[in-house]
Structure 1
Amino acid sequence: MPVPQVAIVGRPNVGKSSLFNWLARRRLAIVDDFEGVTRDRMTTLIETDDRYFELVDTGGMGVEDADDLTADVKRQIELAIASADVIVLVVDVQTGIMPLDTEVVERLRGVERPVILVANKTDQDHQEIHAEEFRTLGRGMLIPVSTMQNRGRDDLLEAIVDRLPPEDETIRPESSMKLTIVGRRNVGKSTFVNTLAESDRMIVSEVAGTTRDSVDVNFEIDGQTFTAIDTPGLRKRKSVRTDLEWYSSHRAARSVRRADVVLMFFDATEKTSKVDKQLVGYVIEHHKPVIFVVNKWDLYAGQVPTEKWVRYLRHQFTTLSYAPIAFITGQSGKNVKTLLNHATMLHKQAQSRVTTGELNRVVRAAMDVHPPALYQNRRPKIFYATQVSTEPPTIVLMCTDPNAFTHDYQRYLLGWFRDHLPFGEVPIKLYFQKRTRAEETKQEGRSKSR
Structure 2
Amino acid sequence: MSVPKVAIVGRPNVGKSSIMNWLAHKRVSVVDPMAGVTRDRVTYLMHVEDRYFELIDTGGIGIVDVGELTDEVDTQIRIAIEQADVIMFVVEGPAGITALDQEVSRRLWKIEKPKLLVVNKCDSPKVDQEVAEFYQVADAPMVTISVKGNRNQDLLLHSILKVLPDADDSEAEEGEQLEEVPELKLAIVGRRNVGKSTFINQLADDDRVIVSEIPGTTRDSIDVRFQMDEKAFIAIDTPGVRKRKSLANNVEWYGLARAKRSIRRANVVLMFFDCLETVSKVDKQLVGEIHSEHKPCIFVVNKWDLAPEATATTDWAEYLFKNFSHMRHVPVCVITAKEGRNIKKLINLAQSIYKQSRFRAKTGELNKLVRAAVKNAPPPVRMNRTPRILYATQVSTEPPTIVIKCNAAELFDEDYKRYLLGVLRERLPFKEVPIKLYFRSKSDDQRGEREELISSALDKGIDMDEFEDEIMGTDLDDE
CA distance in 1, matches of 2:222, 2:195: 17
Which of residues 393, 403, 411 in structure 2 aligns to 1:404? 411
Letter in 2 for 1:385: A
CA distance in 1, matches of 2:453, 2:303: 59
Q: 1:306 Cα shift?
A: 1.6
Who is 2:311 aligned against? 304
Who is 2:393 aligned against? 386
Corresponding position: 1:438 with 2:446: yes
TM-score by length of 2: 0.54
- Please tell me whether the aligned partners of residues 304 and 335 of structure 2 are also in contact (alpha carbons under 8 angstroms): yes
CA distance in 2, matches of 1:382, 1:363: 9
Which of residues 181, 184, 191 in structure 1 aligns to 2:191? 184
Q: 1:374 Cα shift?
A: 1.0
Percent identity among equivalent residues? 53
| Unmatched segments (≥5 aa) in structure 1 | 1-171, 206-211
> Secondary structure of the equivalent of 2:380?
coil
Who is 2:464 aligned against? none
- Please tell me whether the aligned partners of residues 390 and 451 of structure 2 are also in contact (alpha carbons under 8 angstroms): no
Between Structure 1 and Structure 2, how many residues are aligned? 269
Corresponding position: 1:259 with 2:262: no
Q: 1:445 Cα shift?
A: 5.2
Letter in 1 for 2:346: L
Which of residues 330, 344, 347 in structure 1 aligns to 2:351? 344
> Secondary structure of the equivalent of 1:270?
coil
CA distance in 2, matches of 1:332, 1:419: 35
Q: 1:215 Cα shift?
A: 2.4
> Secondary structure of the equivalent of 2:330?
coil
Q: 1:233 Cα shift?
A: 0.4
Who is 1:282 aligned against? 289
- Give the 5 Å matches for 1:43-58: none
Q: Deviations over 1:110-157 (max 9, x none)?
A: xxxxxxxxxxxxxxxxxxxxxxxxxxxxxxxxxxxxxxxxxxxxxxxx
Q: 1:286 Cα shift?
A: 0.6
CA distance in 1, matches of 2:183, 2:306: 33
Q: 1:189 Cα shift?
A: 0.3
* Cα distance, 1:445–1:401 mapped onto 2, change above 3 Å: closer
Corresponding position: 1:419 with 2:426: yes
Corresponding position: 1:270 with 2:277: yes
- Give the 5 Å matches for 1:92-107: none
Letter in 1 for 2:448: E
> Secondary structure of the equivalent of 1:372?
coil
> Secondary structure of the equivalent of 2:233?
strand
Letter in 2 for 1:442: R
Q: 1:244 Cα shift?
A: 1.2
Who is 2:107 aligned against? none
Who is 1:46 aligned against? none
Which of residues 328, 338, 349 in structure 2 aligns to 1:321? 328
Which of residues 208, 222, 225 in structure 2 aligns to 1:218? 225
- Give the 5 Å matches for 1:70-109: none
CA distance in 1, matches of 2:220, 2:339: 29
> Secondary structure of the equivalent of 1:438?
coil
CA distance in 2, matches of 1:184, 1:308: 21
Who is 1:108 aligned against? none
Q: Deviations over 1:321-377 (max 9, x none)?
A: 100000110111111101100100111111000111011011111111222111112
Letter in 1 for 2:381: L
CA distance in 1, matches of 2:335, 2:220: 28
CA distance in 2, matches of 1:368, 1:445: 21
Q: 1:181 Cα shift?
A: 0.3
CA distance in 2, matches of 1:445, 1:362: 19
- Please tell me whether the aligned partners of residues 185 and 267 of structure 2 are also in contact (alpha carbons under 8 angstroms): yes
Letter in 1 for 2:325: T
Q: 1:176 Cα shift?
A: 3.1
Q: 1:243 Cα shift?
A: 1.3
Which of residues 186, 200, 204 in structure 2 aligns to 1:197? 204
- Please tell me whether the aligned partners of residues 182 and 234 of structure 2 are also in contact (alpha carbons under 8 angstroms): no
> Secondary structure of the equivalent of 2:404?
strand
CA distance in 2, matches of 1:368, 1:173: 48
CA distance in 1, matches of 2:400, 2:203: 29
Q: 1:224 Cα shift?
A: 1.2
> Secondary structure of the equivalent of 1:386?
strand
* Cα distance, 1:442–1:173 mapped onto 2, change above 3 Å: farther
Corresponding position: 1:395 with 2:402: yes
Q: 1:241 Cα shift?
A: 2.2
* Cα distance, 1:301–1:221 mapped onto 2, change above 3 Å: farther
Who is 2:372 aligned against? 365
| Unmatched segments (≥5 aa) in structure 2 | 1-178, 210-218, 458-466, 472-479
4+ residue stretches of structure 1 with deviation over 2 A? 172-176, 212-215, 436-440, 443-450
Which of residues 354, 359, 377 in structure 1 aligns to 2:361? 354
- Please tell me whether the aligned partners of residues 268 and 354 of structure 2 are also in contact (alpha carbons under 8 angstroms): yes
CA RMSD of aligned residues (A): 2.2
CA distance in 2, matches of 1:174, 1:216: 13
TM-score by length of 1: 0.57
Q: 1:227 Cα shift?
A: 0.2
Letter in 2 for 1:430: L
> Secondary structure of the equivalent of 2:447?
helix
Q: Deviations over 1:405-437 (max 9, x none)?
A: 111111111111100111111011111111147
